[in-house]
Structure 1
Amino acid sequence: MKARNIVFISAIGLLLGSCTIVRQGEVGVKRSFGKIKPEPLMEGARGFNPFTTTIIKLPTRTMNMEVRLPLPSKEGLTVQSDVSILYRLEGSYAPKVIENLGRNYEQVVILPVFRSAVADISSQYFAKDMHTGQRAGIEKSIKELMMAQLKDRGFVIEAVLLKSIVLPAGLTKAIEDKLEAEQDAQRMQFVLDKERQEARRRTIEAEGVRDAQKIIAEGLTPLLIRFKAIEAFNKLSTSPNTKVIITNGDQPLMLNSDKLE
Protein backbone atom coordinates (compact mmCIF):
# COMPACT_ATOMS: atom_id res chain seq x y z
CA MET A 1 0.00 0.00 0.00
CA LYS A 2 2.82 2.36 0.87
CA ALA A 3 4.60 1.56 -2.37
CA ARG A 4 1.45 2.41 -4.31
CA ASN A 5 1.19 5.78 -2.53
CA ILE A 6 4.79 6.53 -3.29
CA VAL A 7 4.26 5.72 -6.95
CA PHE A 8 1.10 7.84 -7.02
CA ILE A 9 2.79 10.82 -5.39
CA SER A 10 5.73 10.48 -7.75
CA ALA A 11 3.39 10.42 -10.71
CA ILE A 12 1.63 13.58 -9.51
CA GLY A 13 4.96 15.32 -8.98
CA LEU A 14 6.14 14.30 -12.42
CA LEU A 15 2.92 15.54 -13.97
CA LEU A 16 3.15 18.90 -12.23
CA GLY A 17 6.82 19.17 -13.09
CA SER A 18 6.10 18.61 -16.77
CA CYS A 19 3.70 21.57 -17.09
CA THR A 20 4.35 25.31 -16.94
CA ILE A 21 2.30 28.45 -17.53
CA VAL A 22 3.48 31.30 -19.73
CA ARG A 23 1.76 34.40 -18.35
CA GLN A 24 0.79 37.65 -20.03
CA GLY A 25 3.80 39.87 -20.58
CA GLU A 26 6.02 36.81 -21.04
CA VAL A 27 7.20 34.56 -23.83
CA GLY A 28 8.55 31.03 -23.51
CA VAL A 29 11.52 29.47 -25.26
CA LYS A 30 11.81 25.65 -25.39
CA ARG A 31 15.19 23.99 -25.17
CA SER A 32 15.22 20.25 -25.91
CA PHE A 33 18.43 18.18 -25.76
CA GLY A 34 20.38 21.44 -25.67
CA LYS A 35 18.83 22.84 -28.85
CA ILE A 36 16.63 25.95 -28.97
CA LYS A 37 13.29 25.57 -30.73
CA PRO A 38 12.76 28.44 -33.21
CA GLU A 39 9.06 28.90 -32.35
CA PRO A 40 8.35 31.00 -29.23
CA LEU A 41 5.70 29.85 -26.74
CA MET A 42 2.99 32.43 -26.18
CA GLU A 43 0.66 32.80 -23.17
CA GLY A 44 -0.99 29.69 -21.77
CA ALA A 45 -0.26 26.30 -20.17
CA ARG A 46 2.57 24.34 -21.79
CA GLY A 47 3.49 20.68 -21.26
CA PHE A 48 7.01 19.34 -21.71
CA ASN A 49 9.26 16.44 -20.78
CA PRO A 50 11.23 17.63 -17.72
CA PHE A 51 14.00 15.09 -18.40
CA THR A 52 14.82 16.38 -21.88
CA THR A 53 13.27 19.85 -22.15
CA THR A 54 13.51 23.20 -20.38
CA ILE A 55 11.12 26.16 -20.79
CA ILE A 56 12.88 29.52 -20.49
CA LYS A 57 10.61 32.51 -19.83
CA LEU A 58 11.50 36.04 -20.91
CA PRO A 59 9.53 39.26 -20.21
CA THR A 60 7.99 41.09 -23.16
CA ARG A 61 6.54 43.94 -21.10
CA THR A 62 8.32 47.30 -20.79
CA MET A 63 11.42 47.04 -18.63
CA ASN A 64 13.24 49.88 -16.85
CA MET A 65 17.01 49.65 -16.74
CA GLU A 66 18.62 52.17 -14.36
CA VAL A 67 22.18 53.28 -15.10
CA ARG A 68 24.41 55.83 -13.36
CA LEU A 69 27.36 57.02 -15.39
CA PRO A 70 29.44 60.10 -16.28
CA LEU A 71 28.58 61.86 -19.55
CA PRO A 72 31.40 63.54 -21.51
CA SER A 73 30.57 67.03 -22.81
CA LYS A 74 31.75 68.93 -25.86
CA GLU A 75 34.11 71.13 -23.85
CA GLY A 76 35.66 68.09 -22.13
CA LEU A 77 33.78 68.28 -18.81
CA THR A 78 32.18 65.32 -17.06
CA VAL A 79 28.49 65.46 -16.12
CA GLN A 80 27.10 62.88 -13.71
CA SER A 81 23.63 61.54 -14.50
CA ASP A 82 21.15 58.83 -13.59
CA VAL A 83 19.60 57.38 -16.75
CA SER A 84 16.48 55.26 -17.23
CA ILE A 85 16.33 53.08 -20.34
CA LEU A 86 12.81 51.91 -21.12
CA TYR A 87 12.85 48.96 -23.49
CA ARG A 88 10.98 45.78 -24.35
CA LEU A 89 11.71 42.50 -26.10
CA GLU A 90 9.82 41.48 -29.23
CA GLY A 91 8.40 38.04 -28.44
CA SER A 92 9.16 36.59 -31.88
CA TYR A 93 12.88 37.24 -31.35
CA ALA A 94 13.05 35.47 -27.98
CA PRO A 95 14.53 32.16 -29.30
CA LYS A 96 17.31 34.03 -31.14
CA VAL A 97 18.02 36.18 -28.08
CA ILE A 98 18.44 33.09 -25.87
CA GLU A 99 20.56 31.35 -28.51
CA ASN A 100 22.86 34.29 -29.29
CA LEU A 101 22.86 36.41 -26.13
CA GLY A 102 21.53 34.30 -23.28
CA ARG A 103 19.27 35.45 -20.49
CA ASN A 104 21.68 38.17 -19.34
CA TYR A 105 21.12 40.22 -22.48
CA GLU A 106 20.92 43.51 -20.59
CA GLN A 107 24.59 43.32 -19.62
CA VAL A 108 25.65 41.60 -22.85
CA VAL A 109 24.20 43.98 -25.44
CA ILE A 110 21.83 46.70 -24.15
CA LEU A 111 24.21 48.32 -21.67
CA PRO A 112 27.27 48.35 -24.01
CA VAL A 113 25.18 49.80 -26.84
CA PHE A 114 23.82 52.45 -24.49
CA ARG A 115 27.28 53.43 -23.22
CA SER A 116 28.53 53.81 -26.78
CA ALA A 117 25.49 55.81 -27.91
CA VAL A 118 25.45 58.16 -24.92
CA ALA A 119 29.17 58.90 -25.34
CA ASP A 120 28.70 59.70 -29.05
CA ILE A 121 25.71 61.97 -28.47
CA SER A 122 26.65 63.78 -25.23
CA SER A 123 30.08 64.71 -26.63
CA GLN A 124 28.27 66.81 -29.27
CA TYR A 125 26.69 69.07 -26.63
CA PHE A 126 28.01 71.51 -24.06
CA ALA A 127 27.54 70.57 -20.41
CA LYS A 128 25.02 73.37 -19.86
CA ASP A 129 22.83 71.95 -22.66
CA MET A 130 22.19 68.82 -20.59
CA HIS A 131 20.69 71.00 -17.87
CA THR A 132 18.43 73.07 -20.15
CA GLY A 133 15.68 72.57 -22.71
CA GLN A 134 18.05 70.72 -25.04
CA ARG A 135 17.95 67.66 -22.78
CA ALA A 136 14.93 66.29 -24.67
CA GLY A 137 16.89 66.46 -27.93
CA ILE A 138 19.82 64.62 -26.34
CA GLU A 139 17.49 61.89 -25.05
CA LYS A 140 15.86 61.50 -28.46
CA SER A 141 19.21 61.24 -30.26
CA ILE A 142 20.47 58.55 -27.85
CA LYS A 143 17.24 56.58 -28.28
CA GLU A 144 17.42 56.72 -32.08
CA LEU A 145 21.07 55.64 -32.14
CA MET A 146 20.33 52.69 -29.82
CA MET A 147 17.32 51.66 -31.92
CA ALA A 148 19.45 51.61 -35.06
CA GLN A 149 21.77 49.05 -33.41
CA LEU A 150 19.23 46.97 -31.46
CA LYS A 151 16.17 46.78 -33.71
CA ASP A 152 17.46 43.80 -35.69
CA ARG A 153 18.26 42.00 -32.44
CA GLY A 154 14.62 42.13 -31.33
CA PHE A 155 14.69 45.03 -28.85
CA VAL A 156 12.54 48.17 -28.93
CA ILE A 157 13.90 51.22 -27.10
CA GLU A 158 10.87 53.19 -25.95
CA ALA A 159 12.63 56.05 -24.18
CA VAL A 160 15.95 57.20 -22.73
CA LEU A 161 15.48 59.56 -19.78
CA LEU A 162 18.32 61.64 -18.32
CA LYS A 163 17.68 62.24 -14.63
CA SER A 164 19.51 63.92 -11.76
CA ILE A 165 21.94 65.87 -13.94
CA VAL A 166 24.85 67.01 -11.75
CA LEU A 167 27.04 69.67 -13.36
CA PRO A 168 30.51 70.66 -12.10
CA ALA A 169 30.20 73.15 -9.23
CA GLY A 170 31.84 76.06 -11.06
CA LEU A 171 29.69 75.58 -14.14
CA THR A 172 26.51 75.45 -12.06
CA LYS A 173 27.36 78.83 -10.50
CA ALA A 174 28.16 80.30 -13.92
CA ILE A 175 24.83 79.10 -15.34
CA GLU A 176 22.94 80.55 -12.37
CA ASP A 177 24.72 83.90 -12.77
CA LYS A 178 23.97 83.93 -16.49
CA LEU A 179 20.28 83.16 -15.93
CA GLU A 180 20.06 85.91 -13.32
CA ALA A 181 21.74 88.37 -15.70
CA GLU A 182 19.32 87.40 -18.48
CA GLN A 183 16.36 87.96 -16.16
CA ASP A 184 17.72 91.38 -15.17
CA ALA A 185 18.16 92.25 -18.84
CA GLN A 186 14.59 91.18 -19.59
CA ARG A 187 13.27 93.32 -16.73
CA MET A 188 15.27 96.32 -17.95
CA GLN A 189 14.04 95.77 -21.51
CA PHE A 190 10.47 95.74 -20.18
CA VAL A 191 11.05 99.04 -18.36
CA LEU A 192 12.60 100.62 -21.46
CA ASP A 193 9.74 99.44 -23.67
CA LYS A 194 7.25 100.85 -21.20
CA GLU A 195 9.04 104.22 -21.13
CA ARG A 196 9.14 104.31 -24.94
CA GLN A 197 5.41 103.61 -25.09
CA GLU A 198 4.74 106.36 -22.54
CA ALA A 199 6.91 108.82 -24.49
CA ARG A 200 5.09 107.90 -27.67
CA ARG A 201 1.75 108.41 -25.94
CA ARG A 202 2.77 111.88 -24.74
CA THR A 203 4.00 112.79 -28.22
CA ILE A 204 0.71 111.73 -29.78
CA GLU A 205 -1.21 113.67 -27.10
CA ALA A 206 0.86 116.81 -27.69
CA GLU A 207 0.43 116.50 -31.43
CA GLY A 208 -3.33 116.21 -30.92
CA VAL A 209 -3.45 119.37 -28.77
CA ARG A 210 -1.30 121.24 -31.28
CA ASP A 211 -3.48 120.19 -34.21
CA ALA A 212 -6.64 121.15 -32.31
CA GLN A 213 -5.25 124.59 -31.50
CA LYS A 214 -4.17 125.03 -35.10
CA ILE A 215 -7.64 124.16 -36.36
CA ILE A 216 -9.26 126.59 -33.90
CA ALA A 217 -6.82 129.36 -34.79
CA GLU A 218 -7.38 128.88 -38.50
CA GLY A 219 -11.14 128.95 -37.97
CA LEU A 220 -11.20 132.27 -36.03
CA THR A 221 -11.57 134.62 -38.99
CA PRO A 222 -12.53 138.32 -38.46
CA LEU A 223 -15.98 137.63 -39.90
CA LEU A 224 -16.57 134.76 -37.42
CA ILE A 225 -15.38 136.89 -34.49
CA ARG A 226 -17.77 139.69 -35.49
CA PHE A 227 -20.62 137.19 -35.81
CA LYS A 228 -19.94 135.86 -32.33
CA ALA A 229 -19.87 139.43 -30.96
CA ILE A 230 -23.33 140.12 -32.44
CA GLU A 231 -24.62 136.94 -30.78
CA ALA A 232 -23.19 138.15 -27.46
CA PHE A 233 -24.89 141.56 -27.87
CA ASN A 234 -28.21 139.86 -28.55
CA LYS A 235 -27.95 137.69 -25.42
CA LEU A 236 -27.00 140.68 -23.29
CA SER A 237 -29.93 142.70 -24.57
CA THR A 238 -32.42 140.08 -23.42
CA SER A 239 -30.94 139.84 -19.91
CA PRO A 240 -33.11 141.47 -17.14
CA ASN A 241 -30.08 142.62 -15.12
CA THR A 242 -28.79 146.18 -15.31
CA LYS A 243 -25.47 146.27 -17.13
CA VAL A 244 -23.04 148.75 -18.51
CA ILE A 245 -21.64 147.61 -21.86
CA ILE A 246 -18.53 149.13 -23.34
CA THR A 247 -17.66 148.10 -26.85
CA ASN A 248 -15.52 149.07 -29.77
CA GLY A 249 -18.11 147.70 -32.13
CA ASP A 250 -16.47 144.33 -32.35
CA GLN A 251 -16.29 142.87 -28.82
CA PRO A 252 -18.49 143.66 -25.79
CA LEU A 253 -17.08 144.30 -22.31
CA MET A 254 -19.64 143.97 -19.53
CA LEU A 255 -19.34 145.71 -16.16
CA ASN A 256 -21.50 144.89 -13.14
CA SER A 257 -23.66 147.98 -12.42
CA ASP A 258 -23.53 147.32 -8.68
CA LYS A 259 -19.87 148.01 -8.60
CA LEU A 260 -20.35 151.26 -10.51
CA GLU A 261 -22.55 152.76 -7.80
Structure 2
Amino acid sequence: MDEATNQDLNKPTFKKWSIGWINQKLYHRRRGLLITVLSFLLVVLLFAERVVIFVNAGESAVLFKRFQDGTQLNKVYGEGFHLIFPWNIMTVYNVRIQHELKQFEVLSANGLKIKVDASIRYRPIKENLPDLHQQVGPDYADRIVYPEVEAVVRQIFGQYLPEDIYSSQKFIIQNTVQNAIFEVSERFVDLDELLITRITLPDMIVDAIEEKLEKEQVALGYQFRLDSERLEAERKRIEAGGIRDFQSIVSSGLTENYLRFKGIEATLKLSESPNAKIVVIGGGKDGLPIILDGTTNTPDIVN
Protein backbone atom coordinates (compact mmCIF):
# COMPACT_ATOMS: atom_id res chain seq x y z
CA MET A 1 0.00 0.00 0.00
CA ASP A 2 2.82 2.30 0.83
CA GLU A 3 4.53 1.41 -2.49
CA ALA A 4 1.43 2.28 -4.51
CA THR A 5 1.08 5.50 -2.62
CA ASN A 6 4.69 6.32 -3.25
CA GLN A 7 4.25 5.61 -7.01
CA ASP A 8 1.29 8.00 -7.20
CA LEU A 9 3.28 10.60 -5.38
CA ASN A 10 6.18 10.12 -7.78
CA LYS A 11 3.99 10.65 -10.88
CA PRO A 12 4.48 14.02 -12.49
CA THR A 13 1.57 16.37 -12.25
CA PHE A 14 0.43 18.36 -15.30
CA LYS A 15 -1.80 21.29 -15.65
CA LYS A 16 -5.31 20.34 -16.71
CA TRP A 17 -5.86 20.30 -20.53
CA SER A 18 -2.16 20.63 -21.18
CA ILE A 19 -0.52 18.34 -23.70
CA GLY A 20 1.09 16.28 -20.96
CA TRP A 21 -2.21 15.95 -19.15
CA ILE A 22 -3.98 14.82 -22.38
CA ASN A 23 -1.24 12.31 -23.17
CA GLN A 24 -1.47 10.96 -19.66
CA LYS A 25 -5.22 10.50 -19.91
CA LEU A 26 -4.92 8.82 -23.30
CA TYR A 27 -2.28 6.49 -22.00
CA HIS A 28 -4.44 5.36 -19.10
CA ARG A 29 -7.46 4.91 -21.37
CA ARG A 30 -5.70 3.45 -24.39
CA ARG A 31 -7.51 0.13 -24.22
CA GLY A 32 -10.94 1.77 -24.21
CA LEU A 33 -9.98 4.11 -27.04
CA LEU A 34 -8.72 1.21 -29.13
CA ILE A 35 -11.99 -0.63 -28.67
CA THR A 36 -13.94 2.49 -29.59
CA VAL A 37 -11.92 3.11 -32.78
CA LEU A 38 -12.23 -0.51 -33.88
CA SER A 39 -15.96 -0.46 -33.21
CA PHE A 40 -16.31 2.74 -35.28
CA LEU A 41 -14.38 1.24 -38.17
CA LEU A 42 -16.51 -1.87 -38.03
CA VAL A 43 -19.68 0.21 -38.17
CA VAL A 44 -18.30 2.20 -41.10
CA LEU A 45 -17.49 -1.00 -43.00
CA LEU A 46 -20.90 -2.46 -42.31
CA PHE A 47 -22.81 0.64 -43.46
CA ALA A 48 -20.41 1.94 -46.12
CA GLU A 49 -22.59 0.74 -48.97
CA ARG A 50 -25.60 2.50 -47.45
CA VAL A 51 -23.78 5.72 -46.65
CA VAL A 52 -21.43 6.22 -49.60
CA ILE A 53 -23.18 6.10 -52.97
CA PHE A 54 -21.39 6.33 -56.32
CA VAL A 55 -23.46 7.28 -59.38
CA ASN A 56 -21.54 6.30 -62.52
CA ALA A 57 -21.62 7.75 -66.04
CA GLY A 58 -24.99 7.33 -67.74
CA GLU A 59 -26.80 6.92 -64.41
CA SER A 60 -29.08 9.00 -62.18
CA ALA A 61 -30.40 8.37 -58.68
CA VAL A 62 -33.50 8.92 -56.57
CA LEU A 63 -33.37 9.37 -52.77
CA PHE A 64 -35.87 7.91 -50.32
CA LYS A 65 -35.81 9.52 -46.83
CA ARG A 66 -37.24 7.08 -44.33
CA PHE A 67 -38.05 9.54 -41.53
CA GLN A 68 -38.98 12.58 -43.62
CA ASP A 69 -40.96 12.95 -46.85
CA GLY A 70 -40.24 9.56 -48.41
CA THR A 71 -39.28 9.73 -52.10
CA GLN A 72 -37.76 13.09 -53.03
CA LEU A 73 -39.91 13.97 -56.03
CA ASN A 74 -38.31 17.36 -56.67
CA LYS A 75 -34.71 16.24 -57.15
CA VAL A 76 -32.79 13.84 -59.36
CA TYR A 77 -29.22 13.06 -58.24
CA GLY A 78 -26.67 13.11 -61.02
CA GLU A 79 -23.34 11.42 -61.57
CA GLY A 80 -20.71 11.51 -58.84
CA PHE A 81 -20.23 10.81 -55.11
CA HIS A 82 -23.08 11.15 -52.59
CA LEU A 83 -23.23 10.74 -48.78
CA ILE A 84 -26.53 9.81 -47.15
CA PHE A 85 -27.71 8.61 -43.77
CA PRO A 86 -27.68 4.83 -43.42
CA TRP A 87 -31.43 4.70 -42.82
CA ASN A 88 -32.12 6.44 -46.14
CA ILE A 89 -32.10 4.62 -49.49
CA MET A 90 -30.67 5.91 -52.78
CA THR A 91 -31.70 3.94 -55.89
CA VAL A 92 -29.53 4.25 -59.01
CA TYR A 93 -31.10 4.03 -62.49
CA ASN A 94 -29.48 3.48 -65.88
CA VAL A 95 -30.68 6.38 -68.06
CA ARG A 96 -28.85 5.29 -71.21
CA ILE A 97 -30.69 3.77 -74.19
CA GLN A 98 -31.29 0.09 -73.48
CA HIS A 99 -32.05 -2.63 -76.02
CA GLU A 100 -34.03 -5.83 -75.76
CA LEU A 101 -35.24 -8.48 -78.23
CA LYS A 102 -38.68 -9.92 -77.53
CA GLN A 103 -41.00 -12.40 -79.20
CA PHE A 104 -44.77 -12.08 -78.74
CA GLU A 105 -47.39 -14.70 -79.61
CA VAL A 106 -50.64 -13.05 -80.67
CA LEU A 107 -53.94 -14.12 -82.23
CA SER A 108 -55.26 -12.92 -85.58
CA ALA A 109 -58.89 -11.93 -86.20
CA ASN A 110 -59.83 -15.55 -86.92
CA GLY A 111 -57.97 -16.94 -83.90
CA LEU A 112 -54.79 -18.25 -85.52
CA LYS A 113 -51.50 -17.87 -83.65
CA ILE A 114 -48.92 -15.46 -85.06
CA LYS A 115 -45.39 -14.91 -83.74
CA VAL A 116 -44.05 -11.36 -83.80
CA ASP A 117 -40.34 -10.66 -83.17
CA ALA A 118 -39.60 -7.12 -81.99
CA SER A 119 -36.49 -5.07 -81.22
CA ILE A 120 -37.23 -2.59 -78.40
CA ARG A 121 -35.03 0.40 -77.52
CA TYR A 122 -36.02 2.47 -74.51
CA ARG A 123 -34.80 4.58 -71.60
CA PRO A 124 -36.41 6.25 -68.59
CA ILE A 125 -37.22 9.95 -68.88
CA LYS A 126 -34.70 11.55 -66.53
CA GLU A 127 -36.96 14.40 -65.42
CA ASN A 128 -39.69 11.91 -64.44
CA LEU A 129 -37.37 9.49 -62.67
CA PRO A 130 -38.73 10.17 -59.12
CA ASP A 131 -42.32 9.56 -60.30
CA LEU A 132 -41.22 6.40 -62.09
CA HIS A 133 -39.47 5.19 -58.93
CA GLN A 134 -42.43 5.96 -56.69
CA GLN A 135 -45.15 4.51 -58.94
CA VAL A 136 -43.37 1.65 -60.69
CA GLY A 137 -39.87 0.90 -59.42
CA PRO A 138 -36.54 -0.25 -60.85
CA ASP A 139 -38.14 -3.17 -62.71
CA TYR A 140 -40.11 -0.76 -64.90
CA ALA A 141 -39.07 -2.55 -68.11
CA ASP A 142 -40.81 -5.78 -67.07
CA ARG A 143 -43.79 -3.95 -65.59
CA ILE A 144 -44.35 -1.24 -68.22
CA VAL A 145 -42.27 -1.41 -71.42
CA TYR A 146 -42.68 -5.05 -72.44
CA PRO A 147 -46.34 -5.43 -71.34
CA GLU A 148 -47.39 -2.19 -73.06
CA VAL A 149 -45.65 -3.14 -76.30
CA GLU A 150 -47.18 -6.62 -76.20
CA ALA A 151 -50.65 -5.17 -75.53
CA VAL A 152 -50.38 -2.87 -78.55
CA VAL A 153 -49.09 -5.71 -80.76
CA ARG A 154 -52.00 -7.93 -79.68
CA GLN A 155 -54.53 -5.16 -80.26
CA ILE A 156 -53.29 -4.22 -83.75
CA PHE A 157 -52.64 -7.71 -85.10
CA GLY A 158 -55.92 -8.98 -83.65
CA GLN A 159 -57.81 -6.76 -86.09
CA TYR A 160 -56.50 -8.48 -89.24
CA LEU A 161 -56.73 -11.85 -90.92
CA PRO A 162 -53.45 -13.70 -91.65
CA GLU A 163 -53.70 -13.05 -95.39
CA ASP A 164 -54.20 -9.32 -94.72
CA ILE A 165 -51.14 -9.30 -92.44
CA TYR A 166 -49.17 -11.06 -95.20
CA SER A 167 -50.04 -8.41 -97.78
CA SER A 168 -50.18 -5.27 -95.56
CA GLN A 169 -47.20 -5.69 -93.23
CA LYS A 170 -45.83 -2.17 -93.74
CA PHE A 171 -49.05 -0.42 -92.71
CA ILE A 172 -49.62 -2.72 -89.73
CA ILE A 173 -46.04 -2.30 -88.46
CA GLN A 174 -46.25 1.50 -88.74
CA ASN A 175 -49.54 1.55 -86.84
CA THR A 176 -48.11 -0.71 -84.13
CA VAL A 177 -45.02 1.45 -83.61
CA GLN A 178 -46.98 4.69 -83.32
CA ASN A 179 -49.42 3.27 -80.76
CA ALA A 180 -46.67 1.63 -78.69
CA ILE A 181 -44.61 4.84 -78.49
CA PHE A 182 -47.66 6.78 -77.29
CA GLU A 183 -48.66 4.22 -74.64
CA VAL A 184 -45.16 3.81 -73.16
CA SER A 185 -44.46 7.56 -73.07
CA GLU A 186 -47.49 7.95 -70.79
CA ARG A 187 -45.66 5.80 -68.21
CA PHE A 188 -42.52 7.99 -67.71
CA VAL A 189 -40.47 5.98 -70.26
CA ASP A 190 -39.18 7.09 -73.66
CA LEU A 191 -39.62 4.35 -76.28
CA ASP A 192 -36.75 5.35 -78.58
CA GLU A 193 -37.51 2.79 -81.30
CA LEU A 194 -39.64 -0.27 -81.91
CA LEU A 195 -38.74 -2.48 -84.85
CA ILE A 196 -40.89 -5.41 -85.94
CA THR A 197 -38.13 -7.67 -87.27
CA ARG A 198 -40.19 -10.73 -88.20
CA ILE A 199 -43.80 -11.85 -88.51
CA THR A 200 -44.21 -15.63 -88.54
CA LEU A 201 -47.54 -16.95 -89.82
CA PRO A 202 -48.64 -20.62 -89.50
CA ASP A 203 -47.13 -22.80 -92.24
CA MET A 204 -50.51 -23.85 -93.65
CA ILE A 205 -51.54 -20.19 -93.98
CA VAL A 206 -48.30 -19.28 -95.75
CA ASP A 207 -48.68 -22.22 -98.16
CA ALA A 208 -52.32 -21.33 -98.86
CA ILE A 209 -51.48 -17.66 -99.45
CA GLU A 210 -48.58 -18.49 -101.76
CA GLU A 211 -50.73 -20.96 -103.72
CA LYS A 212 -53.46 -18.36 -104.05
CA LEU A 213 -50.99 -15.72 -105.23
CA GLU A 214 -49.49 -18.16 -107.72
CA LYS A 215 -52.92 -18.96 -109.19
CA GLU A 216 -53.73 -15.27 -109.37
CA GLN A 217 -50.53 -14.68 -111.32
CA VAL A 218 -51.37 -17.53 -113.72
CA ALA A 219 -54.87 -16.11 -114.21
CA LEU A 220 -53.41 -12.67 -114.85
CA GLY A 221 -51.04 -14.24 -117.40
CA TYR A 222 -53.96 -15.88 -119.24
CA GLN A 223 -55.92 -12.63 -119.15
CA PHE A 224 -52.92 -10.77 -120.55
CA ARG A 225 -52.58 -13.25 -123.42
CA LEU A 226 -56.32 -13.03 -124.17
CA ASP A 227 -56.14 -9.26 -124.20
CA SER A 228 -53.09 -9.40 -126.48
CA GLU A 229 -54.82 -11.78 -128.93
CA ARG A 230 -57.94 -9.62 -128.90
CA LEU A 231 -55.90 -6.54 -129.69
CA GLU A 232 -54.00 -8.42 -132.43
CA ALA A 233 -57.28 -9.58 -134.00
CA GLU A 234 -58.56 -6.04 -133.91
CA ARG A 235 -55.35 -4.81 -135.54
CA LYS A 236 -55.62 -7.39 -138.35
CA ARG A 237 -59.27 -6.51 -138.86
CA ILE A 238 -58.39 -2.84 -139.23
CA GLU A 239 -55.46 -3.73 -141.53
CA ALA A 240 -57.69 -5.91 -143.74
CA GLY A 241 -60.24 -3.14 -143.96
CA GLY A 242 -57.54 -0.71 -145.01
CA ILE A 243 -56.25 -3.08 -147.70
CA ARG A 244 -59.79 -3.65 -148.94
CA ASP A 245 -60.44 0.07 -149.15
CA PHE A 246 -57.10 0.61 -150.92
CA GLN A 247 -57.83 -2.08 -153.51
CA SER A 248 -61.30 -0.68 -154.09
CA ILE A 249 -59.93 2.81 -154.68
CA VAL A 250 -57.06 1.61 -156.88
CA SER A 251 -59.28 -0.71 -158.96
CA SER A 252 -61.67 2.09 -159.79
CA GLY A 253 -58.83 4.24 -161.15
CA LEU A 254 -56.95 1.60 -163.26
CA THR A 255 -58.35 2.32 -166.79
CA GLU A 256 -56.86 0.88 -170.01
CA ASN A 257 -55.51 4.23 -171.16
CA TYR A 258 -53.87 4.83 -167.76
CA LEU A 259 -52.12 1.44 -167.86
CA ARG A 260 -50.91 2.09 -171.45
CA PHE A 261 -49.53 5.48 -170.35
CA LYS A 262 -47.65 3.88 -167.40
CA GLY A 263 -46.21 1.26 -169.81
CA ILE A 264 -44.86 3.93 -172.13
CA GLU A 265 -43.44 5.82 -169.13
CA ALA A 266 -41.66 2.67 -167.91
CA THR A 267 -40.28 2.06 -171.44
CA LEU A 268 -38.75 5.52 -171.50
CA LYS A 269 -37.02 4.94 -168.15
CA LEU A 270 -35.68 1.57 -169.28
CA SER A 271 -34.34 3.03 -172.53
CA GLU A 272 -32.22 5.45 -170.51
CA SER A 273 -30.55 2.56 -168.70
CA PRO A 274 -26.89 1.89 -169.70
CA ASN A 275 -27.55 -1.88 -170.05
CA ALA A 276 -27.75 -3.22 -173.64
CA LYS A 277 -31.32 -3.94 -174.76
CA ILE A 278 -33.55 -3.93 -177.86
CA VAL A 279 -36.91 -2.12 -177.77
CA VAL A 280 -39.49 -3.10 -180.42
CA ILE A 281 -42.15 -0.37 -180.58
CA GLY A 282 -45.72 -1.53 -181.11
CA GLY A 283 -44.84 -5.25 -181.06
CA GLY A 284 -46.48 -6.12 -177.78
CA LYS A 285 -50.01 -6.80 -176.77
CA ASP A 286 -52.23 -3.72 -177.05
CA GLY A 287 -49.45 -1.96 -178.98
CA LEU A 288 -47.03 -1.81 -175.99
CA PRO A 289 -43.28 -2.11 -176.72
CA ILE A 290 -41.23 -5.33 -176.44
CA ILE A 291 -37.88 -5.05 -174.63
CA LEU A 292 -35.03 -7.50 -175.31
CA ASP A 293 -32.12 -7.27 -172.85
CA GLY A 294 -29.72 -9.11 -175.13
CA THR A 295 -28.88 -11.83 -172.57
CA THR A 296 -31.89 -14.13 -173.09
CA ASN A 297 -33.99 -15.06 -176.04
CA THR A 298 -37.20 -14.48 -174.11
CA PRO A 299 -38.69 -11.04 -174.73
CA ASP A 300 -39.96 -8.89 -171.82
CA ILE A 301 -43.26 -7.30 -172.60
CA VAL A 302 -43.96 -4.11 -170.72
CA ASN A 303 -47.62 -3.96 -169.73
Shorter-chain TM-score above 0.5: yes
1:95 corresponding residue in structure 2: 130
Superposed displacement of residue 109, structure 1: 2.2
1:127-152 C-alpha deviation (Å, 9 max, x unpaired): 2333x242233333333333443323
Alpha-carbon separation, structure 2, partners of 1:196 and 1:27 = 75
Unmatched 5+ residue regions in structure 1?
none
Verify: 1:178 aligned to 2:215, yes or no.
no
1:126 to 161, 168, 173: 161
Q: Secondary structure at the match of 2:284?
A: strand
Verify: 1:68 aligned to 2:103, yes or no.
yes
Verify: 1:18 aligned to 2:56, yes or no.
no
1:14-53 matched pairs, under 5 angstroms: 18=52, 20-24=54-58, 26-33=59-66, 35-38=70-73, 39-42=75-78, 44-49=79-84, 51=86
1:243 corresponding residue in structure 2: 280
2:115 to 73, 80, 83: 80
Verify: 1:56 aligned to 2:94, yes or no.
no
1:132-143 matched pairs, under 5 angstroms: 132-143=166-177
**TM-score scaled by structure 2?**
0.64
Alpha-carbon separation, structure 2, partners of 1:125 and 1:119 = 11
- What percentage of aligned pairs have identical amino acids? 26
Alpha-carbon separation, structure 2, partners of 1:55 and 1:220 = 114
Q: Secondary structure at the match of 1:153?
A: coil
1:38-93 C-alpha deviation (Å, 9 max, x unpaired): 32234x42433363554433233333333333211111222233333333321111
- What is the aligned residue count? 249
Superposed displacement of residue 101, structure 1: 0.4
Unmatched 5+ residue regions in structure 2?
1-33
> Which one is further off, 101-110 or 219-228?
219-228
Which amino acid in the other structure matches residue 177 of structure 2? Answer: K
**TM-score scaled by structure 1?**
0.72
The one of the two structures with greater contact order (alpha-carbon pairs below 8 A, sep at least 6) is 1
Contact kept? 1:68, 1:80, Cα under 8 Å: yes
Alpha-carbon separation, structure 1, partners of 2:114 and 2:259 = 86
Superposed displacement of residue 253, structure 1: 5.1
- Give 1 or 2: higher strand fraction: 1
Structure whose CA Rg is larger: 2
Alpha-carbon separation, structure 2, partners of 1:236 and 1:162 = 84
What CA RMSD, in Å, does the superposition of the two structures yield over aligned residues?
3.9
> Alpha carbons of 1:90 and 1:228: their partners in 2 closer, same or farther (altered >3 Å)?
same
